[in-house]
Structure 1
């Protein structure tokens, strides 16, 4: 009898403990989910480390609407970085580009506009006509440019993204995910001057002319949330309201994606919730800036035998404010089997950020200039010079 009484009270104690614990755990989970309660899919990512701080159905395939233009802009910025497209270049608008529906800046067939202004039209006003005009300039046709978009998605190992156009207009078989959109945004933000476009709240095309066009940013958070300076909104009846946003505060840049919100107000509120959470809870410590020299590479058979190895992007560590990250070290690996020529931006190594045996991040190291094979005459001169220096 005594044993039964002890067992009874023991069970009561266990029940009481569990009854107090369950609401605590449930409340923590509830608060986490309330960051984006009305989104079909959402994600919060720190840019430098790629660390995901929050996600909801992040790998769910959904129509991305005009957020497709993040990939469009990525390929445009790559071309500018390579020197194959100049911002001051004038682009002739085709009849096909001028005929685009949806969001547009009313480009006219045969009109010429600078690359710089066309990028503004895409980044600020989500101009479908400007997107197609730039795609045709780079690849010859929209179809050929879309092929490049899908090739880039494959290179970024995005398994749940397929592009069918450069605009995001509804089309069967075009889909992406919050996760994949965040990865594309992370890649785009390597080109740091992209935010000089996406942060503009209002501007003009053809200013002072009869057909002057007022550009107003479709991302109102650029105006209403301090630190937000991009990136791209989206809306179709099928996709509902979408937004890939980025903001920077105290040298920490974060990326948020919301897909499938019922209203603009709900979309912006959920984005703000995620940004507040990131900046209130986390901090970063920047270790390297983008393009910072970490080593010098000597290539005896190159026309430029001394070339700098630099970081391909900003490198940071991320930690909760209450738990600073300690005992972090770097580990650099440089390839030893180079094939010439090398192009500016080609990967030649990796920089790892380590904490103990755990790898926190891996960042490609690249060369900061082109290196071609040295001519026979150059190699001959170097040989003579080396011989003359010998004792």
Structure 2
């Protein structure tokens, strides 16, 4: 009987232990930094959606084919440059695109808005070409517009040849981007562009139906399954070609945090779900490991000495002496919010001009303040004199003495 009760006690203890394990908060799952071997992606990035700072990267600057994730750039360029109610007449080039495609035919007409839903929900390649030809007249000219936009966004090593992301190359290189650049593009699409609201609305839509101008009906279903895998996902786009492998780019906004991820070469068939695993790990790591913090601060500044100067309003006995003043910080913005972890090192560096040439006007920049996270400059603002100091000369002295006597 005693052994029976001992057995019951052991079972009770085991059940209690298992219960404790089951209620461990979710945030502890990826509290530690992610090792590269834990991720399937050949290249990936986790980015702060507010500041654009890279929070985690694996081969983030390696140029790779990126398949249909290209279409987020195609979409935002079309939204910014096109008339959503404009009519697209389908060309032979557009209707001849390989699968996946809508199956349009030459001469058929659609609204540009409807083709954007086909582009982003179903990833139709013919929609991409039709949109490109509508906006720029040709795929080549639209690709030039895409590359210009990518450069404006801040991309460093991207080259787009096709609007649909199909593998391509020409004399200037091959169709590619980097995980870092793709993250920048998604950040721009989701939050920075004037058309970000329309972009998010399209990419969040589960189902969409539309007709061509002759009344033929079409149905689109969103194939971005990750929209339902995590709370806070606001946008995303999948991609696959034989050269690129499985790719994914997404944006998430939760608990006041904005995050972007980009995954390139994340497996090949039969590893279609690898991208979901990597996406979850990266987003969860960002949510658990980082908090928003305003890093703008005004440091205590030492006084600056200007030799052999004078202040126009100063008394005569102070002329020709050393003028001492404390610089003023000229801060354009009072807040700069960044996602930072406990391990991040934030510091403020002050740099003053070693010598100043008279005259020094009150609004003259005499130095700068830099705010750094882990030795990377995040914010920079000017230090100004805040006081006018003129060069001391006998002519100035005589002029001032005469003016004082005249007004006695």
TM-score for both structures, normalised by structure 2: 0.62
Pair 120,356 (structure 1): closer, same or farther in 2 beyond 3 Å: closer
SS in 2 for 1:261: coil
SS in 2 for 1:32: coil
4+ residue runs over 4 A deviation: 28-31, 321-327, 352-359
Match of 1:95 in 2: 92
Q: Does 1:163 pair with 2:160?
A: yes
The two structures, once aligned, show a CA RMSD in angstroms of 3.3
Match of 1:214 in 2: 219
Q: Distance in 2 between matches of 1:164 and 1:96?
A: 15
Q: Deviation string for 1:262-316 (max 9, x for gaps)?
A: 22211111001101111112233589xxxxxxxxxxxxxxxxxxxxxxx9xx963
Count of matched residue pairs: 281
Match of 1:316 in 2: 337
Q: Distance in 1 between matches of 2:37 and 2:252?
A: 17
Pair 206,361 (structure 1): closer, same or farther in 2 beyond 3 Å: farther
Q: Distance in 2 between matches of 1:160 and 1:323?
A: 27
Q: Does 1:120 pair with 2:117?
A: yes
Pair 223,109 (structure 1): closer, same or farther in 2 beyond 3 Å: farther
Match of 1:284 in 2: 292
Pair 94,50 (structure 1): closer, same or farther in 2 beyond 3 Å: same
Pair 122,159 (structure 1): closer, same or farther in 2 beyond 3 Å: same
Q: CA deviation at 1:249?
A: 0.3
Q: Distance in 1 between matches of 2:259 and 2:163?
A: 25
SS in 2 for 1:117: helix
Q: CA deviation at 1:125?
A: 1.2
Q: CA deviation at 1:99?
A: 1.5
SS in 2 for 1:258: strand
Unaligned segments of structure 1, at least 5 residues? 1-27, 80-84, 288-310, 328-351, 364-391
Match of 2:34 in 1: 32
Q: Deviation string for 1:219-251 (max 9, x for gaps)?
A: 210122221121211101111100011111022
TM-score for both structures, normalised by structure 1: 0.64
User: Which of 265, 273, 292 is the matching residue for 2:281?
Assistant: 273
Are the counterparts in 2 of residues 162 and 174 from structure 1 also a CA contact under 8 Å? yes
Q: CA deviation at 1:211?
A: 4.7
Residues 1-391 of structure 1 mapped to structure 2, 5 A cutoff: 31-33=33-35, 37-79=39-81, 85-172=82-169, 173-189=174-190, 190-191=192-193, 192-193=196-197, 194-206=199-211, 211-262=216-267, 263-284=271-292, 316-320=337-341, 355=371, 359-361=377-379
Q: Distance in 2 between matches of 1:169 and 1:356?
A: 40
Q: CA deviation at 1:199?
A: 1.1
Q: Distance in 1 between matches of 2:102 and 2:379?
A: 41
Are the counterparts in 1 of residues 292 and 338 from structure 2 also a CA contact under 8 Å? yes
Q: Deviation string for 1:332-382 (max 9, x for gaps)?
A: xxxxxxxxxxxxxxxxxxxx996489853479xxxxxxxxxxxxxxxxxxx
The structure with more radius of gyration: 2
Q: Distance in 2 between matches of 1:266 and 1:353?
A: 44
Unaligned segments of structure 2, at least 5 residues? 1-29, 296-331, 349-367, 382-408
SS in 2 for 1:48: coil
